Structures are given as structure tokens and as C-alpha cells.
Structure 1
Amino acid sequence: MVDNFPFYLCLVVAILLLIMLANKIRVAYPVLLVLAGLLISLVPAIPNLHIESELIFIIFLPPLLYDAAWQISWKELWHWRRVIGSFAFVVVFLNALVVALAANYFIPGFSLALGFLLGGIVSPPDAVSAGAILKFVKVPKRISSILEGESLLNDASSLIIFRFALIAVGTGQFLWHQAALTFVWMILGGIGSGLLVGYIIMKMHKFLPTDANMDIVLTLVTPYAMYIIGEEIGSSGVLAVVGGGLLLSNHRLNFLSSSSRLRTVNVWESLSFMLNGLVFMLIGLDLPQITAGLERVTMISAVGYGLLITLVLVVTRLISAYGAVVVTLIARNYITVADTRNPGVKGPFVLGWAGMRGVVSLAAALSIPATLKSGAEFPERNLILFITFVVILTTLLVQGLTLPAIIRRLNLTDPDYDLPEDEMYRNLRRQLNQLALKYLNENYQDKLTDHPVLRQMAQKWEANQAESDATSLAEDSKTIYREILNEQRAWLAKQNDEQNAILEEVIRKHLLFLDLEEEKMRFL
């Protein structure tokens, strides 16, 4: 580990450069990272990395799920709950079933239990890949919300299928009544334990004498505590993190100070950025480990099986996306659904095509034990691992590279919101100014003459009320203001060098204030 430390540092720098390149050429960065890892792994002098599945499940998965739970809109998640639930559970199960049947029929030596094991591994799409792609194209909010919501839950459902299939392969039998009870406990126990841990953490933030640094550390510990406790009680650690994360996200104003919220967001953005980059690079770097045990079948046959399973997954997801539309159109006659309009063919196609696989699939495949409890070699383990790698690589390359062009070609319109996001922001800002002025005039009118600061605040809100859209969004004004802020920073730095009578801590406070002023311009 210590001997390879310079290599790991170079790997981090390479990830940063590749993500910069991906942003420059407007390609989803997971695609470039996987390809780069693949090419690096072919270099003879490169250290051979052995990736443990526990490394991904314990170190990477909890914080990434927790961050996703904090980022997602609960309002949108609840609004589209039926569609999200169908994609996260029903569609995942259908994918696993179709993969099981296809593997059992086309791949020699694959039983239905092994097919379900493979199906549970490759059925969940990866949220990071879709999110990275959607940065470069505009899609209706409903599509991005459904994809985000699905990604929060489909890992749990696929891992539940994987766990049951693993038991069936190991024991040679499958008891439906036991499986049903276990399934219910994994869902209820996972969500319940996550909510309980989240509630305890929330009270710790609120009643203990913490500061911003302590709050940040607690947020870093929280997802791991949720995941480990959920797994230890035999339920779903993934659902524990999702349930607890959603609880804390929706109550963040009640237990975190403004300073803690501001600094926590910065820390988590950097952490998620680095973790996501590392996991996709590791997928490519793991090629030697994946191909090392491939002995029973030829490379050409193994690649063919991988492409076959990929095709099955893509077609099944597309059919399921349109099937969900048909079910919704029928169900609206009997129950209240989120949208009664016919979504057409464009939206479901985007949902169906956005099915890139990622790190959870690889981690699940790597977690297959080398031997059964009897001591016999686990059947087809190496082939399953290789097929999983082919599915991840193919979906990232084919779907990941074509999805932006498809979205632009379809020219989707947003049927749910009439106003663009920036106009919504300006309207809310005016209403907030109105609220502030009304409250000040109704409660502290007599203080305005005696307190110049309050009077200046009132004048600022009145000016904001009267400003035109062009004034509030003028890029020239922002450029000039940035130049002024840079002049002020340079002056402060000069004062710090020349004036020994001024504490540097005071200089830094002013520099922080200038940074906050520049940050505010993003929202003006």
C-alpha cells in the first residue's frame, strides 16, 4: 500500500484531468474514467489492484447514497412515487427475471438460480452516469426526478434479489414463505433503522453544543452508522441510508445552523466528486482481476454472453418504460395518478435508454464467494464477473455516449412547469423582498429612523423590488463587481503584509466576506 502511494496520488490527478476533459468535450465523465482505467490496467508496470467488494459497499456506497438523499427533492419524489416505485422494484425484478431466463437458455451451465444471481447484479442502473449526462442537456424535471428517485431505491431491490439468489445457489433450494418474510423485514427493518438513527443524529445536532466542524464530522459518520446498523440487524443497509438521509434532509433547517449548512455542502460536494471519480476509475483498473479466472470459456464466447445480456437488459427496460405508461393510463381510471396526460413516446424512451450500469453491479459481482459452504468452487463465478464488466462497459459506452444526442434530437418540452427556472427564482426573490418589507413596516416602523442599518436594509429591498430583469442578470455588472472584489482582496493582502498592527485573522474575515459576496452573484 505504502509502496504504491505515489501511484494513487497520480491516479487522483489523472481523475481530475479526465473530468476536466469530459466537461470540455461535453461527455459524461464516467465513460472517460472507465476507458482510462481500462487502458491504464493494460500497462505492464502498473500495480495490479485487487478490489474488495467490502471496500465499495462499506466505504463508497453509504456516503454516495446519503449525498443523493440530501440532493433529491422530497416533493418530487413523493409526487412521482408510483412511477419511481415501479422502476425501482417492479422493473428491477422484471430485468432480473428476463436475464435469468436468457442466461439459463443461452449460456451453458447456467441454472435459473445462477441466472437470477446475474440478474440481481446487473439490473440496477447507475445514477451517477445519468446525472453526469443530464448536466449537458435539458430534460423535463419529471424525467430527472424519476431517474434520481429510482437510483435511490433500485440498489436495495437488486441487492435483495442478489442475496436471495445467492442463498438459492448455495443451498440448492428456495423457500418462498421464508423469502417473503425476509423480504418484508429487509425493507421495513432497513427503513426503520435508518429513521431511528437519523432521529438520534438529529437530536445530537440540535441539543449537543456542536459547532460547524463537529456538525460536518457527524454528517460524515451518519451514513456509515445507518448502513452498518441496517446490515447488522439483517435488513437493507441501502434503505437504511436512504430513509435516514431523506429524514435529515427534510429537517435540515431545524437542527443545522446556517454556517453548518453552508460548510457541510462544500465538504460533501468535494467528497462525492472524489468518490464518484475513484469508483469509475477502479472499474476499468479491475480488468486484470476480472479476466484472470476466465478459463472455462473462450474470451470471444464470454464477450458474446456479455453483449447478449446487455441487449436483454436494454430491450427489457425499454419495454418496461412503455409498459409503465400503459399501466398508468389504465390506472388513472380507478385511482389518482400524478399525471393524467398521455406522456407520448419520447419521455418513456429517454427513461428506458438511461440505463447505464455502474459500481454497485461490480461490487455485487465481486462479493460472490469463491467457494460454497461445502467447499466446492462457486459455479460460474468468473464468468458472472466478466459478463458484469461487459454490461457496465457496453452500457456506459453505447447508451452513455448516445443519450445526449437522443435527448437533443427528441427536443423534449417540460409539461409541468410553464416558467423557466431562472424566472421562478426572480419571482420568489421579489416575493421575499415584499415579505421582508411588510414585516419591517408592520413591526418596526418606529425603529427605521433611529437605526440606519435597518433603513439601509429597507432601501435595499425596495431597490431589489424595482430592479428590472436585465439589471439583475447583467453579466457586465457581474464582471465589474468581480474586478472590484479582486481589487479589495489585493488591498487586504497588501495591508496584511505592511500593517503589523492589523491581525491576520481580521484580514481573513474580510476575505471570507468578499468570497461570500462573489458566491452570491451566482444567484443574482
Structure 2
Amino acid sequence: MQNILPFFLAMIAAIVLLKMLADKLKIAYPLLIVTAGLVLSFIPGLPVIHVDPNLIFFIFLPPLLFEATWAISFKEMKKWWRIIGSFAFLVVLFTAFSVAVVTTYLIPGFTLALGFLLGGIVSPPDAVSTGAITKFVKIPKSTSTILEGESLLNDASSLIIFRFALAAVGTGQFIWQDATLEFLWMVIGGVGIGILIGWFFVQAHKWLPADAPSDIALTLIEPYFMYWLAEHVDSSGVLAVVSGGLYMSNRRLLFLNSTSRVRGYSVWESFVFILNGIVFFLIGLELPEIVEGLRSKGIELKTAIGYGVLVTVVLIIARIISSYVALLATYIFRRSVLPHRGSSRRRFLIPLLLGWTGMRGVVSLAAALAIPVYLDDGSAFPFRNLILFITFIAILLTLLIQGLTLPYFIKRTKLFDAFTEEPEAVARQKLREGLMTHTRQFLQGKLNDGLPNSGLIEKLLRHWEEKTKASGDEWLNEKTKPIFFEMLESQRKYLSDLNRDPEINEEVVRWQLYLIDLEEERLKNQF
């Protein structure tokens, strides 16, 4: 432990520095971290990190999924639920099937069950990689919502395939009737358990005293508890975390105060960044060890690389085909959601771009490492090292090739220039103007109710607009402070009601709510 700890701390420091360098170079930080891990793995004398396969899912997946549910707009997910659902389930199944068929025919000794196992591992794209890459380019809100929503659900579908395939490899048989019932329980049970546990934790936050450290500590254990309970009853832990996280995220204003929301945002942002960085570092660090495992089994490195490239090509082609099928289905059944402007060439190229966003990452690595070394009968798991190597090659190639070229393709083709979404700056200005009108009406109502100082309304509005230092505001005292806090709460209610409009950008609403929380925290710390 004493030998590993300095290396572990140095790894976290390297992750932070690489993230800063990536932001300066305007490239996605997973690319630099994976490359750095691969380079460091060849340095002699470094300690070998072994991750328990039984814990890899439990350590990384629950918090990553939970944080993603708090960041995504559930309103936008409902708007695009058809294409999100098709990409999260049908596309994953089609991708896994394609990988299974190709590998069964082209890899000697590879069974169909092993092919589906590999397909379930490499089928889900990684949202962290895609988000880190697309933040440097202009991309429509609808496209980002589809990619984020897909990433929340495709993890569950791919891991369900992984679990069934793993059982088939171990038992040598696959019973469709039992698998169907088990699938239904995993889906229904996972969603139900997630919502039930989410409700329980919402009530717990309400019952407990309003204390930010306690609130934040509780949110850190909530995804682990959801995941563990669902897996304990043989349901889907991923769906439990996703459904429970979405349930709680849409009620954050009801059970978390401004202090918990502001501080919790920073804590979770740092926590998830470190987790992602460690996983991407492990991708690079583990590859040489996997290569040694291949050699011990007598598999040539050149042959294994060829298999990895083959599977990567199948992944890309399957996703591109699925994107065009989705476009065709949308054109037939939901033509109204297609962009009204732009040439047919751009409409044709957009699915190609969506197909090119399939970078693999955290979930694929976790699933690959979770393959047991031995079967229940004590025999070695067949082709384990080859499956691990192919997975690592698919992750590396999609991250480096697609990750480096995706921003260039978006800028070069100008595919999204035809979209006429309202600029975020304009949306924020409109929101501020509406909020100012609402605030004036609120304070005017207070004045009509007998507020003693007639000049208080303009002073409060000027304070809110200009964000002046409260220390010099003589009018903001113990008597007027409750009115100001009530005004902020009224603003939150106004924004929450406004957010029900499907045309309102929820990201802008959340931005303004965050500013209101900051203002409330500043006033709390002043008195």
C-alpha cells in the first residue's frame, strides 16, 4: 500500500495537469490521458495496478451515471425519446449482433456467445469522451441531448447483453424464455428500485437538518446504494441509478438548499473528473499487461491487432448504418422534427457525423476488466486476454482516430450552420428581462401590502442587476433581508414554471438558477 499510494497520488496530479494542458491546446482531455498512461506503462519499475473485476463496476459506474443524470435536461430527453431509445437499445443490440457474427466467423474457436460478450462490451459509446470533444465546436442542443441521453441508457442495454452472454459462456446454453423474463425484471425492477430509492433519499434530505456537508455526503453514497440494491436482487443497477438520478435531479429545488446545491456542484464536478481520469489512465496502463497475457496464450500480437482493427471497423460501420436508418425512420414518421433549412447534402451527412461520435471508453473498459479469470468449474475463461486486447484496441482507436478528427469534420463540413437555434447569449438576455419583470411585480406587490420604504423596490432591483457589494448597502438589514430572500425564492418558482415551456432552453434556466443560488449564498455569508 505504501508503494502504491505515492504512484496513485502522482497519477491524480498528472491527470489534473494533463486536463489543464488539454484545455490550453483545445483538445479532449481523454486523448492526452490515455496516451500518457500508455507511455508511462513502458517505464520500468512502476507498480502494477490490479483492479478487482468484482468491484470495477461498483467503483466507477454509479457516480458517473448519477452525475450525468443531474447534468442532462430531462425535458429535452422526453422531446427526443424516440431516437434516444432507438440508439440506446436497438443500435446497441444491432452493434453487438454485428460484432458477434463477424468475430464468430473470422476468429478461430470464437463461439457466438463469446461474440455477443465482446459485442456487449464494445457496443456502448462513451459520453465523457464525446462531451469533452464536442465542447470545442458548435453543435446543436438537440444533437447533444441525443448523445447524452443515449449514453445514459446504452450502458444499461449493453451490460444486459454482457450479463446474458457471460452466463451463456459459463453454462453453454441460452434459454430464450428465461432470458426474456429476466430481461423484463432487469428493466422494470431496475427502474422501479431506482425511483423508490430516489424517493426515499429525497424524503431523507427533507427530514434531516439543512446542512450542506451532510447533504453532499449523502448524495455521494446514493448512487452506490441504488446500484447495490438493484444488483443484489438481480436487476439492472445501471437503470436503477439512471432512473433514481433523473427522479432526484428534477426535484433538486425541493430538497436541497442553495448552499448544498452550490457546494455540491463543485464537489461532484471534481469527483467525477478524477474518476474519469483514473479510468482513462488505466486504459493506457493496462495495455502492456494484456499484451503479455496474449503472448502467454500463444497469440501473435500482429494477429490480435488485426482483430482489434476489424472489430473497430465493425463498430463504426454499424453505428453509421444505424444513424441512416434512424434518419429514414424520422423522415417517414416524424418529418416535422427534421431541420427545415439546409441542403439535402447536409441532411445526408448529419447521420454520418452521428455515426462518427461513437468513441468507446469507461463502460467498455469496466466490462472488459469484469470478465472473470476462471469459470465456475475452475477452467480458464476462454479468450479472455484476446477479448481484453480487442476492447483496448477499440477504445484507443475510436478515441484517437474519431476523437481527433470529429472536431475537424464538424468545422470543415459546417453541417450545423443551417440550424437556427437561438444563441445562448440571446436566450440568457431574454430570460433576465423576463425575470426582471417578474421581480418588479413581486416587489410591487410587497409595497402594496404595506412595505414602509417606497424606494426599496428600485434599490433592490438595482442591487440585483448590478451585483454591487452588499457590505455598502445600508438598506439591506435584518428587516429587509427576509423580503430579499423571499424575492429570490419567488424568482426560482418563476423560472421553474417557465421551464415547463418546451421551447425554453433548460440549460439557460439552470444557469440563472445557479446565479440566484450564488446571490443567496453571498447574502447569507454577509450577515
Taking structure 2 as the reference length, the TM-score comes to 0.85
Greater CA drift, 283-292 or 250-259: 283-292
Is 2:262–2:518's contact at 8 Å kept on the other side of the alignment?
no
Is 1:48–1:288's contact at 8 Å kept on the other side of the alignment?
no
Q: Which residue of 2 aligns with 1:317?
A: 319
Tell me the percent identity: 55
Is 1:231–1:237's contact at 8 Å kept on the other side of the alignment?
yes
Deviation, 1:454, is: 4.3
Greater CA drift, 172-181 or 434-443: 434-443
- Cα distance in 1 for partners of 2:462, 2:92 equals 56
Give the AA of the match of 1:363: A
Q: Is residue 247 of structure 2 the alignment partner of residue 244 of structure 1?
A: no
- Cα distance in 2 for partners of 1:254, 1:414 equals 39
Q: Is residue 23 of structure 2 the alignment partner of residue 23 of structure 1?
A: yes
Give the AA of the match of 1:103: T
Which of 366, 389, 394 is 1:391 aligned to? 394
The equivalences for 1:58-207 within 5 A come to 58-207=58-207
Is 1:332–1:340's contact at 8 Å kept on the other side of the alignment?
no
Is 1:4–1:47's contact at 8 Å kept on the other side of the alignment?
yes
Residue by residue over 1:224-269, the C-alpha shift from the partner in whole angstroms, topping out at 9 and shown as x without a partner, is: 0101011001111000000000000001111111111111111111
Deviation, 1:84, is: 0.5
Is 1:448–1:454's contact at 8 Å kept on the other side of the alignment?
no
Which of 409, 413, 417 is 2:412 aligned to? 409
Q: Which residue of 1 aligns with 2:441?
A: 438
Secondary structure in 2 aligned to 1:344?
helix
Q: Which residue of 1 aligns with 2:375?
A: 372
Give the AA of the match of 2:77: L
Deviation, 1:285, is: 0.9
Q: Which residue of 2 aligns with 1:260?
A: 260
Deviation, 1:452, is: 5.5
- Cα distance in 1 for partners of 2:431, 2:325 equals 38
Pair 1:112–1:418, CA change in 2 (3 A)? closer
Taking structure 1 as the reference length, the TM-score comes to 0.85
Q: Which residue of 2 aligns with 1:456?
A: 459
Secondary structure in 2 aligned to 1:413?
helix
- Cα distance in 2 for partners of 1:233, 1:416 equals 46
Is 1:448–1:455's contact at 8 Å kept on the other side of the alignment?
no
Secondary structure in 2 aligned to 1:370?
coil
Pair 1:5–1:418, CA change in 2 (3 A)? closer
Q: Which residue of 2 aligns with 1:272?
A: 272
Is 1:160–1:183's contact at 8 Å kept on the other side of the alignment?
yes
Give the AA of the match of 1:408: K
- Cα distance in 1 for partners of 2:86, 2:77 equals 13
Is 1:329–1:340's contact at 8 Å kept on the other side of the alignment?
no
Q: Is residue 431 of structure 2 the alignment partner of residue 428 of structure 1?
A: yes
Deviation, 1:292, is: 2.4
Q: Which residue of 2 aligns with 1:360?
A: 363
Greater CA drift, 364-373 or 452-461: 452-461
- Cα distance in 1 for partners of 2:125, 2:375 equals 28
Secondary structure in 2 aligned to 1:155?
helix
Deviation, 1:449, is: 5.0
Deviation, 1:446, is: 6.2
The equivalences for 1:26-65 within 5 A come to 26-65=26-65
- Cα distance in 2 for partners of 1:154, 1:2 equals 39
Give the AA of the match of 2:360: R
Deviation, 1:4, is: 2.1
Q: Tell me, which stretches of 5 or more residues in structure 2 are unaligned? A: 471-514, 523-527
Deviation, 1:416, is: 6.5
Residue by residue over 1:336-386, the C-alpha shift from the partner in whole angstroms, topping out at 9 and shown as x without a partner, is: x75586881232122110001112111111111122222222111111111
Secondary structure in 1 aligned to 2:276?
helix
- Cα distance in 1 for partners of 2:418, 2:439 equals 33
Residue by residue over 1:166-214, the C-alpha shift from the partner in whole angstroms, topping out at 9 and shown as x without a partner, is: 1111111111111111111101111110000000000011122241111
- Cα distance in 2 for partners of 1:210, 1:460 equals 27
Deviation, 1:450, is: 2.4
Is 1:141–1:414's contact at 8 Å kept on the other side of the alignment?
no
Greater CA drift, 348-357 or 283-292: 283-292
Residue by residue over 1:457-484, the C-alpha shift from the partner in whole angstroms, topping out at 9 and shown as x without a partner, is: 14456xx5xxxxxxx9xxxxx9xx9xx9
Residue by residue over 1:379-411, the C-alpha shift from the partner in whole angstroms, topping out at 9 and shown as x without a partner, is: 111111111111111111100110010111121
